[in-house]
């Protein structure tokens, strides 16, 4: 019979500890609601004794969350336990999560006690917590480095004291999957009352093994996995829940397990957490990274177009994504180019695929990545490759004041004509020069993306500005590189305007073809 794996999320507790600034109550509520929609069984919403703000946010979340169970962390101290219970009084049901160091290192150097004193602290804390709720979880902090004899001893002790869930954390990400599986196996074989509690695991990613350790623990009999969305957390982070639940789902037949997770909410929840926490998701992050379902190799693109299962073990739609993405680069094959032209509405008889592909490879080698408007230009206005840029920025000057007022003056070559423009704005120097350029080109655009990256270090570091602008419902990409941020921004916009101009020439050519 398949067994349910309980998913315990600690994004709002362990995950928040890794942020440069604490989340406000509104942000925490929005994340908690997203976690509830995703089907998280237990949401650890904070450590209430740590600050009045944490206490307040736990109170607010407790009033709102109805389907997931609320949990708060507490040290094995009377005041911690009392405050944790008070913070969750409005919750439909709640759990108190106690933790105490059990490794020799933690006991001697951090707690300054002996093992018997640790056991006494644990038992008395459990008794106090049971005055407020029957749902008690106990964590053996640094279990990964605790001797097996001591670990079995304290696990048996706290279960006898009334703990429902016993958590085995690899607090510093020390173990390998084989070692961690052996720890869980040992508990099941040596602890006589282990069947009276759920065994949980909380793994950190210091050696990049948090998800692997969690899965190996499930193989050994663990029935709760703790982690965070996007793997947020102390140092290298925690078990990434989106990864572990998808791994459980992919291998559910061999693992004989299931979860209550609503998989279609995974991608949306990841984005919400990333935005509120101001923690961008790495492009190559498993499951939710922007490249997770992108394909650049021509062989892979051809295989995916024939049958996506050739190179995808997860259907992106299953986690809330609409489609896979084919990045058009010099590694792309004819099949990808033809597919993209079809996606844009063009038929095979509208253009010559062989000629287009040859020109595409030349441009891809120069540019790195080819966009939709590039393909159109190559297919219907081949001459555009070799012509000079229509717009050239000859001169610019920007004056800014502390009041926020910025004035930009530009001299722009538009073909063979000189266009001089001036713009004033309260939105800073970059906006001022963008407004002036827009007036000069007569292209009303909407800035959709602005990204600045330092390509080197020191005072002569090059700043790369990467932008996306929208013109007539189409997106155009522009890049600028300079030691001066304003200059790099201006170059990026002129670059984008040149692509817009080339696109308008393509449209004119297409009109001629259809006449």
Q: pLDDT (tens digit, 9 = 90+) per residue, 457-513?
A: 455 555 778 898 999 888 888 888 777 888 989 999 998 999 899 888 877 776 766
Check residues 355 and 42 and name the one with the higher pLDDT: 42
The tokens describing 480, both together, are: 């600028």
Give 481's DSSP letter.
E
Q: 391-400 and 406-414: which strand pairing?
A: antiparallel
Output the pLDDT for position 49: 96
**Is the pLDDT score of 249 beyond 80?**
yes
120 annotated to a ligand binding site: no
Output the pLDDT for position 292: 65
Check residues 202 and 400 and name the one with the higher pLDDT: 202
**Is the pLDDT score of 382 beyond 60?**
no
Alpha-carbon distances of 159 from 152, 155, 194, 288, rounded to whole Å:
11, 6, 7, 38
pTM of the model: 0.71
What average pLDDT score do residues 367-371 get?
76
For all residues of the chain together, what is the average pLDDT? 88
| Residue 126 near residue 138, CB atoms below 8 Å | yes
| Number of alpha carbons in the 13 Å side-chain half-sphere of residue 407 | 4
204 annotated to a ligand binding site: yes
Q: Helical H runs in 161-312?
A: 177-190, 210-220, 241-250, 252-255, 266-277, 298-306
In total, the chain counts a number of residues equal to: 515
**Is the pLDDT score of 347 beyond 50?**
yes
What average pLDDT score do residues 369-376 get?
74
Residue 355: pLDDT band with limits 50, 70, 90? confident
**Is the pLDDT score of 295 beyond 70?**
no
**Is the pLDDT score of 371 beyond 60?**
yes
Output the pLDDT for position 228: 98
Q: Helical H runs in 368-484?
A: 372-380, 429-441
238 annotated to a ligand binding site: yes
Residue 341: pLDDT band with limits 50, 70, 90? confident
Output phi, psi for 230, to 5 deg: 65, 10
Output the pLDDT for position 100: 97
Residue 384: pLDDT band with limits 50, 70, 90? very low
**Is the pLDDT score of 386 beyond 50?**
no
Which candidate, 150, 128, 129, 131, places its Cα nearest to that of 141? Answer: 150
Output the pLDDT for position 136: 98
- Reported as a single tens digit per residue, the pLDDT across 415-432 is 889 999 998 888 889 999
Output the pLDDT for position 59: 96
251 annotated to a ligand binding site: no
Paired strand residues for 92: none
Residue 317: pLDDT band with limits 50, 70, 90? confident
Give 204's DSSP letter.
B
> 248-252, 266-270, 400-404, 510-514 — which is least confidently predicted?
510-514
The tokens describing 512, both together, are: 């001629």
Distance CA 304, CA 390 (A): 38
Residue 95: pLDDT band with limits 50, 70, 90? very high
> 33-37, 238-242, 276-280 — which is least confidently predicted?
276-280
Distance CA 109, CA 142 (A): 13
Check residues 433 and 324 and name the one with the higher pLDDT: 433
Which candidate, 59, 50, 49, places its Cα nearest to that of 25? Answer: 59
Give 390's DSSP letter.
S
Paired strand residues for 166: 138, 199
Output the pLDDT for position 273: 92
**Is the pLDDT score of 345 beyond 90?**
no
Output the pLDDT for position 456: 46
Q: 446-454 and 417-425: which strand pairing?
A: unpaired
Burial of 256 (0-12, 13-18, 19+ CB in 10 A): exposed
**Is the pLDDT score of 25 beyond 60?**
yes
Distance CA 313, CA 187 (A): 34
> 126-130, 251-255, 354-358, 489-493 — which is least confidently predicted?
354-358
Q: Which domains does the chain have, with CATH numbers?
A: 3-277 (3.20.20.70), 294-385 (no CATH), 391-514 (3.30.160.270)
**Is the pLDDT score of 35 beyond 90?**
yes
What average pLDDT score do residues 78-89 get?
97
**Is the pLDDT score of 396 beyond 90?**
yes
> Highest mean pLDDT range out of 77-91, 390-404, 455-469?
77-91
Check residues 369 and 475 and name the one with the higher pLDDT: 475
Output phi, psi for 244, to 5 deg: -70, -35
**Is the pLDDT score of 387 beyond 50?**
no
Output phi, psi for 472, to 5 deg: 50, 50
Distance CA 61, CA 12 (A): 11
What average pLDDT score do residues 446-461 get?
70
Residue 454: pLDDT band with limits 50, 70, 90? low
């Amino acid at each position: 019979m398949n067994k349910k794996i309980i998913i315990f999320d600690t994004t709002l507790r362990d995950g928040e500890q890794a942020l440069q600034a604490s989340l406000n109550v509104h942000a925490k509520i929005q994340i908690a609601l997203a976690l509830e929609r995703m089907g998280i069984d237990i949401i650890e919403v904070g450590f209430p004794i740590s600050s009045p703000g944490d206490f307040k946010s736990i109170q607010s979340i407790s009033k709102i969350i109805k389907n997931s169970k609320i949990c708060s962390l507490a040290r094995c101290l009377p005041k911690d336990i009392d405050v944790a219970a008070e913070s969750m009084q409005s919750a439909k049901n709640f759990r108190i999560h106690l933790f105490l160091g059990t490794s020799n290192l933690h006991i001697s150097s951090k707690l300054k006690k002996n093992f018997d004193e640790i056991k006494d602290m644990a038992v008395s804390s459990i008794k106090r917590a049971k005055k407020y709720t029957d749902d008690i979880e106990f964590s053996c902090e640094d279990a990964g480095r605790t001797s097996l004899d001591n670990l079995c001893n304290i696990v048996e002790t706290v279960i006898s004291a009334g703990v429902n869930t016993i958590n085995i954390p690899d607090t510093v990400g020390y173990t390998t999957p084989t070692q961690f599986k052996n720890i869980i196996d040992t508990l099941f074989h040596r602890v006589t009352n282990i069947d009276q509690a759920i065994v949980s695991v909380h793994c950190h990613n210091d050696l990049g093994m948090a998800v692997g350790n969690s899965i190996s623990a499930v193989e050994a009999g663990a029935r709760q996995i703790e982690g965070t969305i996007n793997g947020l957390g102390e140092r290298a982070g925690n078990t990434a829940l989106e990864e572990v639940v998808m791994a459980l789902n992919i291998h559910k037949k061999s693992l004989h397990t299931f979860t209550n997770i609503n998989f279609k909410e995974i991608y949306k929840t990841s984005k919400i957490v990333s935005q509120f926490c101001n923690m961008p998701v790495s492009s190559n992050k498993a499951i939710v990274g922007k490249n997770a379902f992108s394909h650049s190799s021509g062989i892979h693109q051809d295989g995916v177009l024939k049958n996506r299962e050739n190179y995808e073990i997860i259907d992106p739609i299953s986690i809330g994504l609409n489609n896979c993405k084919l990045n058009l680069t010099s590694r792309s094959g004819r099949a990808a180019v033809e597919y993209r032209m079809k996606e844009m509405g063009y038929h095979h008889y509208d253009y010559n695929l062989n000629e287009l592909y040859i020109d595409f490879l030349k441009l891809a080698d120069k540019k790195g990545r080819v966009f939709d408007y590039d393909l159109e230009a190559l297919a219907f206005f081949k001459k555009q490759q070799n012509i000079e840029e229509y717009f050239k920025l000859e001169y610019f000057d920007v004056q800014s004041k502390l009041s926020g007022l910025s004035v930009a003056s530009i001299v722009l070559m538009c073909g063979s004509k000189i266009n001089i423009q001036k713009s004033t704005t309260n939105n800073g120097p970059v906006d001022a020069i963008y407004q002036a350029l827009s007036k000069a080109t007569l292209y009303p655009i909407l800035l959709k993306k602005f990204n600045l990256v330092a390509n080197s270090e020191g005072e002569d570091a090059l700043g790369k500005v990467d932008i996306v602008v929208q013109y007539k419902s189409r997106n155009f990409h522009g890049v600028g590189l300079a030691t001066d941020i304003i200059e790099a921004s201006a170059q990026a916009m002129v670059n984008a305007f040149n692509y817009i101009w080339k696109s308008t020439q393509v449209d004119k050519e297409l009109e001629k073809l259809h006449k």
